Each structure stands twice: as structure tokens, then as C-alpha cells.
A and B are shown apart, each in its own frame.
Chain A
Amino acid sequence: MATQTIPVTRDKAADRRLMFREMKRNVWAYVFISPFYILYAVFGMFPLLYGLWLSFHEWDGISAMQWVGLRNYADLIVDDIWWYSIYNTIWLFFAATVPQIILALILAFIINSPYIKGKDFFRAAFFAPIVASAVAVGLVFTWLFGERYGMLNYFLGMLGIAPIDWLGDRNWLKPSMAIVTIWQWTGYTMIIFLAGLQSINTELYEAARVDGAQTRDIFFRITMPLMRPVILFQVVLSIIGAMQTFDIPVMLAGGTQSSAPGGTDRAGLVAMINLYWTAFKYTEFGYAAAMSFMLFILIITFSYLYNRWQGGNPTD
């Protein structure tokens, strides 16, 4: 408000005086926002830098740290198991995120339709899985997925499909994880999309209808372009989330005490399971810290590539 009355030409000292005056006038604003910056400095920024420092060391967590330079990174680049865990993570990302986004879009469109009744009920019903603890969900699905007596195979058997060893077969472990992830997260994604749909001005639809547009045209020419930033943002968040996925995979692949992390043939060894075991079971903290940063770089790269590919300047 006050800034509007400033003359166009002014010297630097006056500028600075004005800035100090503004800062003093708004001193409470700084007090109000300061907790975030203090906490982030201590529990966000510092761990980040400390982790980077750690990644140049060999350390078992107890004895003295040993500087090894870039050796952890050099080892990591030729670590087949590490790259396999990255492969598993990316596999899981695609298998879980793509169906989830499509399903969520379909459900959001249907619920947003003015003809549908019981919107509150359906919104709540689809959202419910997200409130459940992933550990508890993992326990329940472990038995749902049972090979001989599992409920899922029982239903499939009624359709004439032979029993599948969901969690024991190396080819089925990742799909099982994807199924649980889709089950848990679709409703959440749907709510985000629904919020986006509801923010579209209905007069746009009105105008299109008056001009004689078909439902299909409205969908592809109005709804989808306006939804694009929402979808784009959701995909980037999914990349960040999926690269760090841990709870569901670890529970389906044998739990946190398992001696075979990642299950049969490490088929379910995602990056975070690898990292967790490396740091806290094999106590190679430096190597695991290097994994963290490699993961960070990969997440940034994937998010960037996705943005490039979408040709997007997501403005929202």
C-alpha cells in the first residue's frame, strides 16, 4: 500500500531507509513466519548438508568417520543391486501412477457430473483408504494375496483363473505392490482432480453448449486444457512420492525384520528399502547417504524431464 506513493527517482539511502521502515512496521509478520525458517534450518537444511558431507565418508555410525572422497558415488554407479532397486522403483511408479491418474480422472468426471446423486457418499468412500495406515493395509493385503487360500485367488478361481503366487513369485510381487498403491491412493488423487474440475467456471460449458459443442468437444477442448496444470502438478508430486515409496513395498515383501529385503530375487527391492537396509541393517551410513543424494538427483531429473516432455510452463 505504502509502496504506491514512492517517487520514481530515489537514492539508495532513502531506499534502504524505506525498507527498514517497512521491515519495522511489519516486524510481527517476520515473527509469525519465523518458526518455519528456524525449524527448516535445523531439521531440513542442516540434515541435507550433513548428509552430503556424510556421503563422502565411510562410517558405521559408531567409530570415527573416514573421508573417502567420491568413492561411495563411484561404487554406487557400478552397483547392480542399486540400479535394480531404481529399476523396481520406476517400474512401480509407472504401474501404480498411470492407472491411478486415469481412474481418478474418470471417477472425478463422473462425480462432478451434475446428474449424479450421492456425491458426498462417493467422495468419502473413495477417499477412505488414504486414512488407513500403510503398515496395517500391508498386513491385510498380505493375507488377501495368499496363494492357496487368499481371497483374491478365490475370486479369480471363480472366473477360472489359476491361483497366482502374488507375493512369492518374482513376476507378481511388483504388480501386487502396484495394486495396493492404486487401491490406497486413487481416491486422494480423485479429490484433487475434483477440486480442479469444480474450479472451472461452468459458464464456459454453457457458452460451448450454446455454440453447439458436443460433450466430447467440451471434454477435450475445455475441460482437459484447463485441467492440465492440475494433472501436471499431481504427476510431479507422484514422481517425488513414488521414488521414496517404502511402507507398502516393505510390508508386502516380508516386513522390516526380513533377512531377504525386497522379497523373492529382490523383485520388490525399491530404492528406499535398499537405502534402509544399507544404513540401518548393514550400518553403511556413508554409502546410504550417497544413495540418498543419487535418489535426489534422479527425482529432480525425472521431474524436469517430465516438465520438458509436457512442454509445460505449469502456471497455476
Chain B
Amino acid sequence: MATTTQRGFAARRRVRFSRRDQLMGPFGMTVLYAVLIGGALVTAFPFYYMLVTSTHRSATILKIPPPLWFGNALVTNYNELLANLPFWNSLWNSLAIATIATTLTLFFCSLGGYGFAKFRFPGRDGLFAFLLATLMVPGAIGLIPSFIIMRNLGWIDTWNPLIIPGIANAFGIFWMRQYIAQAIPDDLMDAGRIDGAHEFRIYWNIVIPVIVPALAALAILTFIGSWNNFLFPLLILKDTAKYTLPVALSTLRSLRGTEIGVQILGAAGAILPILIVFIAASRQFMSGLTAGAVKGG
């Protein structure tokens, strides 16, 4: 929905402008594309380097010139990676934690966003202002006490600390509120109420289907955040079998004498799955992200 309106808008704008002026000559356009393509190459190069290096042994990596094309040591590196790291186990932990956290976050944040967007209740503005203010409190301040609280709750080496505190987070609620406020006309819910539907039913059957674009963008943001989360899992997860990928990878950095290709392959194992998902969903995600931000602003 958001995509079509946006694209229509852009198309209209293009016609309007191109008729009037030819400010950008062919030279100007070349410069602009050069900047974009150059920037994209610089952005992409570390990914390419990662893929190439993960197929080499240190002996060929530490050479002048360093390898710029794929080698044939991928299998060797892979076997060595598995010997040093419970890679698939960590990947599974990361995947499970991120999936559960994302699902619950979508539910609680859209519910909260709906509450703020479509109800006028006493104290709403004050409560919302408080919610926004918490966004400005840096998370690092609570790091040490949070760790101690989790320890006292007996949650060390469990998934709870990595899932529960964030499922109804201020950013997600704010995000959903902004979208719901403009995406859903009040008549829609009133119609449901006249039919005698329960408030939760209205949320579930009427609101949810309309806000899928905003949910999709929030899902990807939450998933990325959880998948890449490092500092708190580092404190909470002590047992190697419980490690998430970033925590497992951070131990590689400290193992002196680990093959470079093996380290890089481990990094690739953490980056590639989420990068592939991102590339596959990037069109929807990007329009959801910009649409949400625009409508929010």
C-alpha cells in the first residue's frame, strides 16, 4: 500500500521536474553516479573480502598481494571452525532468541501503540511523554545492576534476560503508534464496536491486518538488534553451549594462532544469514521503514 502511493508520488514528481529545467547536465549526472557507485563499492568491499578470505588459509592470506579471488580452503576452514566453536549450536541459539523476541515484541508493541493511538484516556499524554523520555536514557547505565538482578533471579545462562526486558520497548510502541494513528480511521473501529466486538478482537481482526507494513519493518529492526546483540549476552551467557553467535565469535578473536580464514568464516556465518534475509526483503523493508519514518515525522 505504502509502496504504490510512494512510487506514484515519485513518478509525478519526476515528470514535473524534468520538463522544467536541465540543471543536471550529463557531466553532473556522471559525477552523481560516480559518487553513488563508488560509495556502494566501498560499502560492499568488506563483504567481498570476507567471502574471499574465508576460502583461504593464513599462508595464502598473509602474502603480497593478498588474495582477491576465491581459494579452495573453504572445507578445511569449515571443519576447523567446527572444531573450535559450537557454530551450529550458537547459530540455533541466536535464531531461536531472535525469533521469539521478535514475535513477542511485535505483539506487545503493536498493542501498546494501538492503545496510545486510538484511545483518549485520562493521563495518556503524560504516560506517552514518560515513554518517550525513557528513550533518552542510555541503556548502558543499567548494565551492571541489570546483570545483578538477572543473577538474583537465577536467569544466568537462560534466554529470559535476552528476551523479556525488551518485548514491550518504548521505540517499538512509539513506532507503532505513529503508524496506527494515521493508517486506521476511527470509523473502522467504531464499526467493530457497534457490532459488539471485544476490544481485543478489534485489535486482532481489524487493526493488525492494516498495519502489516509497519510490523514488517519493526520485525526486521528487532530481529537484527537481537541477532547482533553482544554486550548483555556476553555477561549473561557463561556456558559455551548457551552462547549466541556474537559471543561465540568474540572468543575467536582471543584465540591466538587461529587460522585467519577460520575466523573470517565464522564472521561470515554470523553475517550472511541475516544479510540474505535483508536482501530478499529489502524492497518491502525499505519502503516500510521510510513510510513509517515519514508518517512518524
Contact = CB atoms under 8 A, between A and B. Distances in A.
A133 B227 contact: yes
A39 B168 contact: yes
Given A116-B32, A149-B66, A183-B43, A28 B138 contact: no
B25 to A, nearest CB: 11
A246 B286 CA distance: 27
Contacts of A143: 53, 61, 260, 263-264
Contacts of A128: 43-44, 47, 275, 278-279
A48 B145 contact: yes
Contacts of B29: 115
Interface in A50-70: 50-51, 54, 61
A289 B144 contact: yes
A168 interface: no
A139 B267 contact: yes
Contacts of B147: 279
Interface string A174-198: 0000000001000100011011101
Contacts of B275: 128, 131-132
Contact of B120 (A3, A48, A114, A125): A3
Nearest to B11: A114
Contacts of A127: 278, 282, 286
A147 to B, nearest CB: 11
B270 A133 contact: yes
Interface in B32-59: 32-33, 35-36, 39-40, 42-44, 46-47, 49-50, 53
Interface string A49-93: 011001000000100000000000000000000000000000000
A36 B168 contact: yes
Interface stretch (B77-85, B208-216, B228-236): B228-236
Contacts of A131: 224, 228, 271, 274-275, 278
Contacts of B227: 133
Interface in A221-276: 230, 240, 243-244, 246-247, 251, 254-258, 272, 275-276
A113 B10 contact: no
A133 B140 CA distance: 19
Interface string A194-207: 11101100100010
A34 B275 CA distance: 35
Contacts of A170: none
Interface residues of A, number: 108
Most chain B beta-carbon contacts within 10 A, residue among A38, A111, A151, A254:
A151
Contacts of B297: 195-196, 199, 230, 316
Contacts of B144: 51, 54, 275, 279, 285, 288-289, 292
Contact of A113 (B32, B145, B263): B32
Contact of B119 (A29, A151, A194, A199): A29
A139 B294 contact: no
Interface in B242-286: 245-246, 249-254, 260, 263-264, 266-268, 270-271, 274-275, 278-279, 282-283, 286
Contacts of B46: 129, 137, 140-141, 144, 183
Secondary structure of the B side of the interface? Answer: helix
Given A149-B61, A230-B297, A251 B253 contact: yes
Given A114-B10, A143-B263, A247-B231, A206 B16 contact: yes
B290 A198 contact: yes
B40 A139 contact: no
B138 A295 contact: yes
Contacts of A154: 64-66
A272 B149 CA distance: 20
A130 interface: yes
A50 B150 CA distance: 13
B164 interface: yes
B254 A256 contact: yes
Contact of A139 (B165, B266, B279): B266
Interface of B: 6, 10, 13-14, 16-18, 20-21, 23-24, 29, 32-33, 35-36, 39-40, 42-44, 46-47, 49-50, 53, 61-66, 108, 111-112, 114-116, 119-122, 124, 127, 131, 134, 136-149, 164-165, 167-170, 173, 199-200, 203, 224, 227-228, 230-231, 234-235, 245-246, 249-254, 260, 263-264, 266-268, 270-271, 274-275, 278-279, 282-283, 286, 289-290, 293-294, 297
Given A48-B142, A111-B36, A195-B289, 8 more contacts: A32-B119, A35-B168, A120-B286, A136-B266, A138-B253, A209-B20, A243-B138, A251-B253
20 contacts: A32-B112, A44-B142, A44-B165, A47-B149, A48-B145, A54-B144, A107-B36, A120-B286, A122-B36, A124-B279, A127-B282, A136-B267, A142-B253, A143-B260, A198-B290, A202-B16, A244-B140, A247-B230, A272-B231, A303-B136
